[in-house]
Amino acid sequence: MKVVTVVGARPQFIKAAIVSHVLRKKHTEVLIHTGQHFDHNMSDLFFEELDIPRPDYNLGVSGGTHAEMTGRMMMAIEKVLQTERPDWLLVYGDTNSTLAAALSAAKLHIPVCHVEAGARLHTLHNPEEINRVCTDHIGSLLLASTQSGFEELEKENLGERSQFVGDPMFDAFRKYSEKLAVQDVRLRLLTGGEASVPDKFYYLTCHREENTKDDSTILEILQAMEKLNAPTIYPVHPRIRERALSLQEKYRIKNMLLVEPVGYMESTFLVRHAEKIVTDSGGLQREAFFAGKKCVTVFNFPIWPETMVGNRNNLAAPNAEEILAKLDLKQNIDDSYQPFGDGYAAEKIVVALENGWNKILI
């Protein structure tokens, strides 16, 4: 079986790291990196740290509007697919790279396998939701990370092509999250120099379009963190680097370390050791859940409802008071509740590809 996998963004590198190693034991994988994330800290660092096979094709497409990026990716991916003629296209998640690859393959009658299928916000006012919904509807094999994701697919009449396999992010967390000790984690400050990890700290990530399009929204989040009883570590996405720095200076935010994006092992170290977590990232919400850490998600919609059980993760509007109030809600953890699979999603994904391939050939 020959599989072309397309990745382009940080969370996809993490999932591919887990699945590629299993897939390559028996099958041929050709890896395309679209270039959507290209900074060293957002891309190469993950390939090095997680020992991801080197991409066979680097398309170098990044920036521009959503349509420009998606269109340029499609043109480049189509050429590779015509050359490689794989049995499957494999894509992850919800980025423009996911959608561009799925559209290009479907038009060439190459079956598309979508991992993390069925995640839904139920609003099209979110760019990632558009990518997810479109990819699921043109996909041939839809692999859900949770049972509720599978049920969403059934509601959209996609049940026959769908399967619950578990979450490769959970596999990755189990495999990589305890590799580092505190002295291995060096934080590179955006203002220059390095810092070590404080004994007690909160962990913040915030980069979603909805939370960063105007200054007042990010400022509310920074001001909430400023009031906490320990400093916050905030690895800043390159997209908002300059604005975060200027807001910190203008509003004298002192109780916060603005740092360069960290690698995956560093990030999962921070998740495991933080007091609490504030985020707008789909991946970080789940990692907080895996680690049993209280999380507040600054967003209007629950994308991973399983994490919200027992107040383990609460939604908050981008409003300082609300974020602080939600952080104060006590969580109730039931260790037997594990909705993200058994830690062997990668193996199940490869078996699903093998079985689906047989079916398509018949």
Q: Which residues are catalytic?
A: 207
Of 68, 58, 72, the closest CA to residue 6 belongs to: 58
Contacts of 22-27 with C-beta under 8 Å, sequence gap 24+, read 22/346, 22/347, 22/349, 22/350, 23/90, 23/346, 23/349, 23/350, 23/353, 24/53, 26/1, 26/350, 27/1, 27/2, 27/3, 27/350, 27/353
Work out which of 57, 264, 290, 304 binds ligand UDP, going by CB under 6 A.
264
User: Nearest distance from residue 69's CB to ligand UDP, in Å?
Assistant: 16
CB 361, min distance to ligand UDP, A: 33
Among 11, 231, 318, 356, interactor with ligand UDP by CB under 6 A:
11
Give the DSSP per-residue string, 156-175: TT-GGGEEE---HHHHHHHH
The smaller minimum CB distance to ligand UDP, of residues 86 and 261, is found at 261
Handedness of CA 75, 349, 126, 213 (dihedral sign): negative
Question: Per CB under 6 A, which region of 77-85, 103-111, 133-141, 264-272 contacts ligand UDP?
Answer: 264-272
Site for ligand UDP in 188-217 (CB under 6 A): 205
Gyration radius of the chain over CA positions: 20
**How far, in Å, CA of 51 to CA of 7, rounded?**
15
Per-residue interface string for the shown chain with ligand UDP, residues 277-316, x marking contact by CB under 6 A: ----xxxx--x-----------------------------
Taken in order 195, 247, 287, 352, the sign of the CA dihedral is negative
Helix (H, G, I), strand (E, B), or coil: what is residue 279?
strand
Q: Which of 55, 235, 339, 343 binds ligand UDP (CB under 6 A)?
A: 235
* Binder of ligand UDP out of 6, 14, 105, 247 (CB under 6 A): 14
Q: CB 261 → ligand UDP: shortest distance, Å?
A: 4
Q: What is the largest CA-CA distance in the chain?
A: 65
The site string for ligand UDP over 38-77 (x = CB under 6 A, - otherwise) reads: ----------------------------------------
Least distance CB 269 / ligand UDP (angstroms): 10
Contact set with ligand UDP (CB under 6 A) = 10-11, 14, 205, 235, 261-264, 267-268, 281-284, 287
